[in-house]
């Protein structure tokens, strides 16, 4: 996600630009598709909720969608045992062509997220910040 693909989006992977998914390797896109399917099943999130979150306007995410975001982080192995993001793992999970964007987003969003007890809410907070900071480079898969 962060393509911010961390959605990581990855979910860390994660844009409103149709060019972002096209700039990723076929292998990464296949992996993202597998993770997406697994997280949709696990959380009950719908394709429509993801599409709505990817729209340019600000969208409040349901708890299911927030947990989908966390699931994507978890499957990308960028979370610590307590559910917090491991920023170094996030950075390394992002395709190299997005390193400069990733540094900017990770620095800003890590500071602005603050302590949130619920891992799903914390994942959403990161995604919301990433989307607001770099909308042209954000896509939730």
Degrees, nearest 5: CA angle 115-118-124: 80
Q: Could you read off the pLDDT of 25-74 as tens digits, one per residue?
A: 889 889 999 999 999 999 999 999 999 999 998 888 999 999 999 999 99
Q: How far apart are the C-alpha atoms of 79 and 66, rounded to whole Å?
A: 15
* 26-133 placed in CATH 3.40.50.10490: no
pLDDT of residue 24: 79
Helix (H, G, I), strand (E, B) or coil at 141: coil
- Residue 91: Cβ within 10 Å count: 17
Helix (H, G, I), strand (E, B) or coil at 126: helix
Q: Could you read off the pLDDT of 94-119 as tens digits, one per residue?
A: 888 888 999 999 999 988 777 888 99
Q: What is the value of pTM for the model shown? A: 0.84
DSSP secondary structure of 6-38? SEEEE--B---STHHHHTS-HHHHHHHHHHHHH
**Domains in the chain: boundaries:** 26-133
**Secondary structure tally for the chain: helices H, strands E:** 7, 1
Residue 83: pLDDT band (50, 70, 90) is confident
Which helix (DSSP H) or strand (DSSP E) does residue 63 occupy? helix 63-75
DSSP secondary structure of 64-120? HHHHHHHHHHHHTT-B-TTS-B-HHHHHHHS-GGGHHHHHHHHHHHHHHH---SSHH
Question: What DSSP designation does 118 have?
Answer: S
């Amino acid at each position: 996600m962060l393509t911010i693909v961390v959605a990581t989006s990855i979910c860390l992977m994660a844009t409103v630009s149709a060019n972002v998914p096209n700039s990723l390797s076929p292998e990464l896109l296949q992996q993202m598709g597998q993770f997406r399917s697994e997280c949709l099943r696990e959380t009950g999130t719908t394709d429509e909720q993801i599409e709505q979150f990817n729209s340019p306007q600000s969208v409040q995410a349901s708890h299911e969608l927030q947990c989908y975001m966390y699931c994507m982080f978890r499957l990308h192995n960028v979370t610590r045992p307590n559910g917090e993001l491991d920023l170094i793992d996030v950075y390394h999970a992002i395709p190299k062509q997005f390193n400069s964007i990733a540094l900017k987003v990770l620095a800003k969003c890590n500071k602005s997220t603050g302590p949130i007890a619920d891992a799903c809410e914390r994942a959403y907070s990161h995604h919301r910040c990433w989307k607001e900071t770099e909308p042209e480079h954000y896509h939730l898969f």
